[in-house]
Chains A and B, each alone.
Chain A
Amino acid sequence: MSLAQLAVKVECSNNASPQTDERSWPRSSTTSVSPQPPSTAAQSIAPLTQGGGQTSSDDVDVAHQWVSRIKRKYKSCITGEAVVAARAARFAPMPDLDPRLQAALRARGITQLYSHQAEAWAALRDGADIVVATPTASGKTLCFNGPVLDAALKSGAKAMYLFPTKALAQDQVAELLELNRAEDLGVRAYTFDGDTPSDARQAVRTKGDVVVTNPDMLHQAILPHHTKWAQFFSALRFIVIDEVHTYRGVFGSHVANVLRRLHRVCAFYGVRPQIICCSATIGNPREHATELVGRPMRAILNSGAPSGEQHLLFWNPPPINPDLGIRASARSQVSKLARLAVKAGLKSILFAQSRLMVEVLTKYLKDIFDRDPRKPARVRAYRGGYLPDERRLTEKLMRAGAIDAIVSTSALELGVDIGALDVSLLCGYPGSVAATRQRLGRAGRRQQTAVGVLVAGSDALDQFVVRNPQYFLEQSPEHARIDKEQLLILLDHIRCASFELPFSENDTFGERDVREFLDYLVDEGVLHRNGSRWHWIDDSYPANAVSLRSVADGNFVVVDRTGGKQTILAEVDFSSAALTLYEGAIYMIQSIPWQVEKLDWTGRKAYVTRTHVDYYTDAIDYTRLKPLSQFESAKSRCGEAQLGEVHVVRRVAGYKKIRYYSHENIGYGPVNLPDQELQTTALWWRVEPGALDEAFPMRFEALDGFLGASYALHTVATLLSMCEPRDLGKAVGSGDSEWSATVSGKGRGELRNAAGEPVDLQAMAEFSPAVYLYDNYPGGIGQSRPLYERRQELLSGALNLVRNCRCSAGCPACVGPILQSDEQRQPKASALKVLGLLVA
């Protein structure tokens, strides 16, 4: 049972949902820290995921002393704090296992199970499909490795493990092999990914007892070639899907359909494997896994693993220029904290948002701690892009306790085993409550205090979180959402499924009747219908044309042609290409700025070169939305909120150049691109014209207010839906698509009509603007409805964001950047007024 106590500045109520109470941070109950676990075994009952990191002295809780000191010394930077009390272990006896497995576990020090592991095993014995959602390092892997190995030994059962990344897959295989070696179990575990050499693939297919792979390989290599895997599928009894919280949004919607294909292929071979999902902390683990897998899942949420006390600090860097909202950088604060932690003898992990930032932080710390090249390094970096061997070495050194500070990107957020750590420092808000908890959870020992510090950066989301810590703490973690019925995604996978096995009249895809889709594919010429069966007759390999990370085909590639060579740097979804890849745009890849020199719209290519300018660019887009149908609506104070299907026409007319730090608008460039059309779902608010005229004597003020409100609502909506900012669009326009508004290159709100001509605000007979938030993918991806349902939260979040911002007239952290020369305008006050009108 997680018994959490909230201290000092933040008052929190226990409002977590029953599903998630286990892992919510703040609980307003108290209990004493439990003593040593009642284990009689001499060896510790270490879960497999937890290596033997060096602990500090048992007598003195160094981390506890450290956090107290920090709190005293830097009081003004700390905007909030939470404490999660220590938690004792709960054990359960080892069930009846194959004796060889029992011996192997014993050799690794495991003689009993944590209660959640035992619960998982029992559920699997009942034949249930399960989702295990317990904290980092609670021994989740044993929940599936135990039953899988037991079945492999007893009956030759096979298992497929799906991990979102290669590093995790390799970890898992290493762990299985280690367990295997302990007692020479003879169970064969292999990874199967893009790096598996073709001459080894045959052995993986025919000899593997456990095949560890990822959704992309399953989609592109395994399912389309399932006949080569016939032997494997025929004996498949378990499918393990780890880190299911990462399967959300577009990617998750694809993966859910890949799993529908997997179920279909399994049924063809006459098997119905049990599914074991594991998830980090999200608000809806059972619901999400059920939706993803397409079967009812039993949820295991109560961890029996012990943990020490955890402190969480919210840290806002001190202001440098309060009027403009400029603060010291997050990087400077994180370096300082890391330096103090290392000096105190604590092991730290630093999370940075980009690879570049990892390098900068690493260099800074190395300059202090690794000056003598003859001594082994105390500071190391870890990120994607490093060679696997190098990463393995770092992991090994971490587990051995040989490193004092490790600097990482999100690569280490997931369950890679790096041993126990004392301090977790987050350089910037990772974008979601779940990811924040995951990263903070990287620090944690079974007996000692662990400290997590979230250091805010300067952008709107970071500032919102750090200024409203209670908002973060009160919030149950985000709900992972997918939309597996998304029309284009669904069609893609029905295409792939038809290639894999012909559909018959009575077949469904998941629960879905797909005859309409099959007939569509007949018209397209890729299927042939004979009476009751649809056969694939095309010469293509459809999985090659489907990327699990985008909705529509026609992704743009970003090509570097510095120095005459052409290198592909990134892929950009069609939906966001016009907003990010116009000629002149500064396009950031891993915090490194590139400039778009040429955009080949039809060829779907953007040519970029490395640049060193001191500004970023922001598209000026006029986006008109026309509601096509309305699903829901509700009265608000002076208007109404609505949810519906919309037709979006977006024209990027130009872009602003905005200087870093000062956010000064330093120039303007024109853009000439075709209009993009998009049909999707949206939620929007309108205000009665009368009420609006009453609230605002000047229309331009009302317009400023709407534009500022849309900016703040977009920020908070991104936070609520656990999505990337580009996944959601925002717009201000008339309800009938007559005109749309944007902040122009001159920093003022401007209106344009459908023909792109300026509209005179004062001359309009009736001024009835609406503010829209829409799913930025054709067909939508299921974000708008939950946002509509949580619209009060959304509005009060936006009100808090703007109201609590310390800027005077408006800034990038609240209503968007404003011109320094233009401070007689009050977009901040206007936005507050508009948000007030929208509240129910």
Chain B
Amino acid sequence: MHGIADQPNPSSATLAHRLGLLRGRDVRPASPDSDIAQRIARLKLLATEARPSTPRGDGRLPGETIAPGLVLIERKLGALQALKLRLDLPETLLPDWHEHNPVPRERLLFFDTETSGLNGGAGLKVFMLGVLRWRDGWTLKQYILSDPDGEGALVEAWLAEVSDQPVLVSYNGKRFDIPALATLERLHGESSGAAEFAHWDLLYPVRRRFRKVWPNCRLQTAERLLLNKHRVDDMPGSEAPRAWRDFLRFGHTHALLEIARHNRSDLESLIALLRQIGTHGPWTLP
């Protein structure tokens, strides 16, 4: 499949030409007019990253398009599978750090986002939001932006997910996912108030307990050392920005769906981790 960006956009060709000339400062060939095409190509080479060598996929995302630019993939986890993955949380939880009443399993909302980068700021896009809740069994919903214009719909979906003021469970969600979502909310003139919700960010107890023992406190380290879970063929989260860009620019779906699988695996680990902490705690949240 040939990407749209293989051809220079005709309307920007003259601009590219001018920029090429301005930037051709330490380029040996001297004549300003002779090698425009070459210079544009050179510009392109610098600007465009190497193509992924992974398979490209068939260009279609599974799931349902629930709004222009927003796809929802929803699935229920079978009971047997849940047991195998050690996702058997008790019906009510009363962890040490939660000073209030016991929390029914249904009130927990496990969530994890995948984003277009890690630097934050208004230009950071949340292109995938995974939410896992107990609804007669574990129900996973993954919202994927099939176009950046679907962002407004994604914000609406997020607001709907948290409209019952659930107890949030995440890994580093306080510092990363919640601010990223709050940025989106502001950009769309909304406010979920999620930053004020009860939020069990499991990074903190893990870090408190194992910081001096483990090489690092990343989720996958915790999986390995606490849950004895070893991922196979997992696409690392750091590939997420590129996976989404390649989907938008070239229609490649394979990597994006790999990232969805990674996202789901993260969410499952959250449940298992909470179970582990509940069993072997108390480790206290901050």
Task: Name A residues whose Cβ lies closer than 8 Å to a Cβ of B.
Answer: 224-228, 230, 487-488, 491, 498-502, 515-517, 519-520, 522-526, 528, 530-531, 533, 535-542, 544, 552, 574-575, 601, 626, 628, 647, 649, 674-679, 754, 778-779
State the CA gap A808–B93 with chains docked (Å).
96
Contacts of A754 in B (CB 8 A): 30
Contact A541-B248, Cβ < 8 Å, known A649-B30, A677-B26: no
Contact A539-B119, Cβ < 8 Å, known A487-B18, A778-B25: yes
Contacts of A499 in B (CB 8 A): 121-123
- Of B5, B28, B123, B183, the most chain A CB neighbours within 10 A belong to B123
Contacts of A516 in B (CB 8 A): 11-12, 14-15
Is the Cβ of B30 less than 8 Å from the Cβ of A530? no
State the CA gap A500–B183 with chains docked (Å).
11
Contact A538-B116, Cβ < 8 Å, known A498-B123, A676-B25: yes
Is the Cβ of B8 less than 8 Å from the Cβ of A523? yes
Interface residue SS majority, chain B: helix
Given contacts A538-B245, A540-B119, list 5 more A-B pairs with CB under 8 A: A487-B19, A498-B123, A520-B16, A538-B241, A779-B22
Contact A519-B122, Cβ < 8 Å, known A525-B48, A539-B241, A675-B30: no
Is the Cβ of A227 less than 8 Å from the Cβ of B245? no
Contact A227-B122, Cβ < 8 Å, known A525-B249, A530-B147: yes
Contacts of B57 in A (CB 8 A): none
Is the Cβ of A519 less than 8 Å from the Cβ of B11? yes
- Of A520, A523, A676, the most chain B CB neighbours within 10 A belong to A523
5 CB < 8 A contacts A-B? A520-B19, A523-B44, A539-B241, A677-B30, A679-B24
Whether B166 is near chain A, meaning CB under 8 Å from some CB there, is no
State the CA gap A674–B30 with chains docked (Å).
12
Contacts of B110 in A (CB 8 A): none
Contact A225-B122, Cβ < 8 Å, known A487-B18, A537-B116, A679-B21: yes
Whether B231 is near chain A, meaning CB under 8 Å from some CB there, is no
Contact A536-B30, Cβ < 8 Å, known A487-B22, A778-B23: no
Instruction: State the 6 A-B residue pairs at the shortest beta-carbon distance, nearest first.
Output: A499-B123, A539-B117, A535-B148, A539-B241, A520-B12, A227-B186
Query: Nearest residue in A to B117 (C-beta to C-beta)?
Result: A539
Complex partner residue of A537 from B26, B43, B187, B244, CB under 8 angstroms: B244
Contacts of B26 in A (CB 8 A): 601, 674-677
Whether B101 is near chain A, meaning CB under 8 Å from some CB there, is no
State the CA gap A574–B183 with chains docked (Å).
36
Is the Cβ of A541 less than 8 Å from the Cβ of B30? no
Whether B118 is near chain A, meaning CB under 8 Å from some CB there, is yes
State the CA gap A540–B149 with chains docked (Å).
20
State the CA gap A754–B29 with chains docked (Å).
12
Whether B32 is near chain A, meaning CB under 8 Å from some CB there, is yes
Contact A523-B12, Cβ < 8 Å, known A530-B147, A674-B28, A679-B21: yes
Is the Cβ of B11 less than 8 Å from the Cβ of A540? no
| B246 CB to nearest A CB, Å | 10
Contacts of A575 in B (CB 8 A): 25
Whether B252 is near chain A, meaning CB under 8 Å from some CB there, is no
State the CA gap A487–B241 with chains docked (Å).
29
State the CA gap A491–B43 with chains docked (Å).
14
Query: Nearest residue in B to A578 (C-beta to C-beta)?
Result: B26
Contacts of B23 in A (CB 8 A): 488, 552, 778
State the CA gap A226–B187 with chains docked (Å).
9
Contact A537-B22, Cβ < 8 Å, known A499-B121, A517-B15, A524-B47: no
Complex partner residue of A225 from B47, B48, B69, B120, CB under 8 angstroms: B120
Complex partner residue of B125 from A230, A533, A535, A675, CB under 8 angstroms: A535
State the CA gap A536–B187 with chains docked (Å).
14
Contact A679-B22, Cβ < 8 Å, known A537-B244, A537-B245: yes
State the CA gap A540–B148 with chains docked (Å).
16
Complex partner residue of B249 from A225, A528, A540, A674, CB under 8 angstroms: A528
Complex partner residue of A535 from B18, B119, B149, B242, CB under 8 angstroms: B149
Contacts of A540 in B (CB 8 A): 117, 119
Query: Nearest residue in B to A227 (C-beta to C-beta)?
Result: B186
State the CA gap A658–B216 with chains docked (Å).
58
- Of A502, A525, A530, the most chain B CB neighbours within 10 A belong to A525
Is the Cβ of A224 less than 8 Å from the Cβ of B123? yes
- Of A520, A574, A778, the most chain B CB neighbours within 10 A belong to A520
| A580 CB to nearest B CB, Å | 16
Is the Cβ of A530 less than 8 Å from the Cβ of B148? yes
State the CA gap A230–B184 with chains docked (Å).
12
Whether B182 is near chain A, meaning CB under 8 Å from some CB there, is yes
Is the Cβ of A524 less than 8 Å from the Cβ of B248? no
State the CA gap A185–B117 with chains docked (Å).
43
Contacts of A526 in B (CB 8 A): 47
State the CA gap A678–B121 with chains docked (Å).
34
Is the Cβ of B182 less than 8 Å from the Cβ of A537? no
Is the Cβ of A500 less than 8 Å from the Cβ of B122? yes
Complex partner residue of B5 from A500, A523, A531, CB under 8 angstroms: A523
Whether B49 is near chain A, meaning CB under 8 Å from some CB there, is yes
Contacts of B117 in A (CB 8 A): 538-541
Q: Mark B14-54, 1 if CB is under 8 A from A, else 0.
A: 11101101111111101010000000000110011100000
Is the Cβ of A523 less than 8 Å from the Cβ of B16? yes
Contacts of A488 in B (CB 8 A): 19, 22-23
Whether B9 is near chain A, meaning CB under 8 Å from some CB there, is yes
| B75 CB to nearest A CB, Å | 27
State the CA gap A533–B117 with chains docked (Å).
20
Is the Cβ of A224 less than 8 Å from the Cβ of B11? no
Q: Mark B149-168, 1 if CB is under 8 A from A, else 0.
A: 10000000000000000000
Contacts of A522 in B (CB 8 A): 5, 9, 12
| B131 CB to nearest A CB, Å | 22
Contact A525-B28, Cβ < 8 Å, known A491-B19, A519-B12, A537-B244: no
| A227 CB to nearest B CB, Å | 4
Query: Nearest residue in B to A524 (C-beta to C-beta)?
Result: B47
Is the Cβ of A525 less than 8 Å from the Cβ of B49? yes
Is the Cβ of A525 less than 8 Å from the Cβ of B47? yes
Contacts of A500 in B (CB 8 A): 121-123
Contact A675-B28, Cβ < 8 Å, known A519-B9, A530-B148, A778-B22: yes
| A755 CB to nearest B CB, Å | 11
Contacts of B47 in A (CB 8 A): 523-526
Query: Nearest residue in A to B16 (C-beta to C-beta)?
Result: A520
Contacts of B186 in A (CB 8 A): 227, 230
Is the Cβ of B9 less than 8 Å from the Cβ of A528? no
State the CA gap A228–B21 with chains docked (Å).
39
State the CA gap A839–B160 with chains docked (Å).
76
Query: Nearest residue in A to B185 (C-beta to C-beta)?
Result: A227
State the CA gap A523–B182 with chains docked (Å).
30
Query: Nearest residue in B to A525 (C-beta to C-beta)?
Result: B48
Is the Cβ of B32 less than 8 Å from the Cβ of A679? yes
State the CA gap A118–B44 with chains docked (Å).
56
| B245 CB to nearest A CB, Å | 5
Contacts of B25 in A (CB 8 A): 552, 574-575, 676-678, 778
State the CA gap A230–B182 with chains docked (Å).
11
Chain B residues numbered 230-282 whose CB sits less than 8 Å from any CB in chain A: 241-242, 244-245, 248-249
Is the Cβ of B148 less than 8 Å from the Cβ of A537? yes
Contacts of B249 in A (CB 8 A): 525, 528
Chain B residues numbered 220-235 whose CB sits less than 8 Å from any CB in chain A: none
State the CA gap A502–B117 with chains docked (Å).
17
Q: Mark B90-107, 1 if CB is under 8 A from A, else 0.
A: 000000000000000000
Is the Cβ of B12 less than 8 Å from the Cβ of A528? no
| A235 CB to nearest B CB, Å | 15
Is the Cβ of A677 less than 8 Å from the Cβ of B24? yes
State the CA gap A498–B121 with chains docked (Å).
12
State the CA gap A836–B182 with chains docked (Å).
68
Contact A525-B245, Cβ < 8 Å, known A225-B120, A539-B116: yes
State the CA gap A498–B124 with chains docked (Å).
11
Is the Cβ of A227 less than 8 Å from the Cβ of B148? no
Contacts of A515 in B (CB 8 A): 11
State the CA gap A754–B28 with chains docked (Å).
12
